[in-house]
Amino acid sequence: VDSKSLVIKAPPAEPFTLGCITDIEPQNNTSLNGLYKSGGNFCSQCEAEGFRCITYYPDRPDVMTKFTVKIVGDKEKYPVLLSNGNLVAEGDLEGGKHYAVWVDPWKKPAYLFALVAGQYVALEDKFVTKSGRAVDLRIYTAAHNSSKTQHAMDSLKHSMKWDEDRFGLEYDLDLFNIVAADDFNMGAMENKSLNIFNSRLVLCSPETATDMDYNRIEGVIGHEYFHNWTGNRVTCRDWFQLSLKEGLTVFRDQEFSAYMNSAPVKRIEDVMIVRSRQFAEDAGPMAHPIRPASYMKIDNFYTLTVYDKGAEVIRMYHTLLGREGFRKGMDLYFQRHDGQAVTTDDFYAAMEDANETSLGTFKLWYKQAGTPTLKVSTAYDAGAKTFTLTCTQEIPKTPDMEEEKLPQLIPIAVGL
């Protein structure tokens, strides 16, 4: 055993229980990775490889298990004790301490573990699912920010309703918590039933926030909630598949924001991001496909390519198969893989199989970096009354791949 690994050289041949007591100092953890203390409160961030900073564990996304968490803390210093799942027990202990027991009945990888302990106040509400279950909703924040969480709560309820209506996806626990932390380093994180956000993505008021701030909060609240199915219930086999959850969930939050606001304006905004920033990434020294073949550190691959180009690849499925066909593919994807850690190939197969079609060279989008250039020419023969559209495609060389790239399937809309 050392600070980074625990090796059991002769494990029992039969299934066994391993008890492990670890002593860590989160108050001295300045990396903000794993469990750390900030502003007097304890908070966690475990994606992608933070759980190994808390205890010895096979910290991979394909290792999925059920978590039961008991938190004990000083009641005066840490009156709020939160983790994943449902709160099944709580009470007072000697010496001014108290405890809370959380049980998450759904298997999840360790990167979705979360723990929060500190002084917070909560805005509370309820949401009734399409099957009639009442879900308690709480948004926790520092007391001085308590008046700035109503828009986030409204956005959460709209997200839950939209996901039911658009994709038939219902929330699966009794409780959904959001914590707004001033010093959270990841922007927002979709931990099962305990989303943790940087405060700027939760808090707003008419006196200090713009329309853009309101829309951004609505979109990010939706994004993290939508991960409950596309990322949590069905997760990634390995981190090479990161776009499986992120590209798909970005597409879902784009569609949600388009529904809640102006669809043309939202589409223009998303295209501007891809053209101004992702195209530059694809043309630079760090160009990589949405499913990279290798990496030195996975934290470096939370990129515009994986997220935003990944979302455009998902949108092409939607364009090729239509809204109904895409929904059929999503339904089959969840039917086949609920509770599993899977790959982009599994998503591709679900889309093909559900629609009984072949998508040909579409998989190349996952393997090839670079922005394709299309050259389009047209000709109209008045005598024959025929219109000819000719397209050629070029994909530039990128540092990650020297060999010549193959043409990729691109849907093209034509109007005459």
- 215-242 residue pLDDT tens: 999 999 999 999 999 999 999 999 999 9
- 245-296 residue pLDDT tens: 999 999 999 999 999 999 999 999 999 999 999 999 999 999 999 999 999 9
pLDDT over threshold 90, residue 147: yes
For the whole prediction, is pTM greater than 0.95?
yes
- 40-60 residue pLDDT tens: 999 999 999 999 999 999 999
pLDDT value at position 416? 87
Question: At 183, is the pLDDT very low, low, confident or very high (cuts 50, 70, 90)?
Answer: confident
Contacts of 339 (CB under 8 A, 6+ apart): 64, 106, 107, 233, 234
pLDDT over threshold 90, residue 186: no
224 is catalytic: yes
Strands 175-181 and 188-189: unpaired
Superfamily covering domain 235-370 = Neutral Protease Domain 2 (1.10.390.10)
All structural domains of the chain with their residue ranges: 26-226, 235-370
- 157-182 residue pLDDT tens: 999 999 999 999 999 999 999 999 99
- 87-106 residue pLDDT tens: 999 999 999 999 999 999 99
Fold adopted by 26-226: Zincin-like (3.30.2010)
Annotated catalytic residue, options 47, 190, 218, 224: 224
Give the mean model confidence (pLDDT) for residues 341-346. 99
Strands, E, within 193-249: which ranges? 194-198, 235-236
Strands, E, within 237-383: which ranges? 341-342, 373-381
> What is the Cα–Cα distance from 317 to 413, expressed in whole angstroms?
14
Question: At 302, is the pLDDT very low, low, confident or very high (cuts 50, 70, 90)?
Answer: very high
* High-pLDDT (> 90) share of the chain, %: 96
pLDDT value at position 185? 82
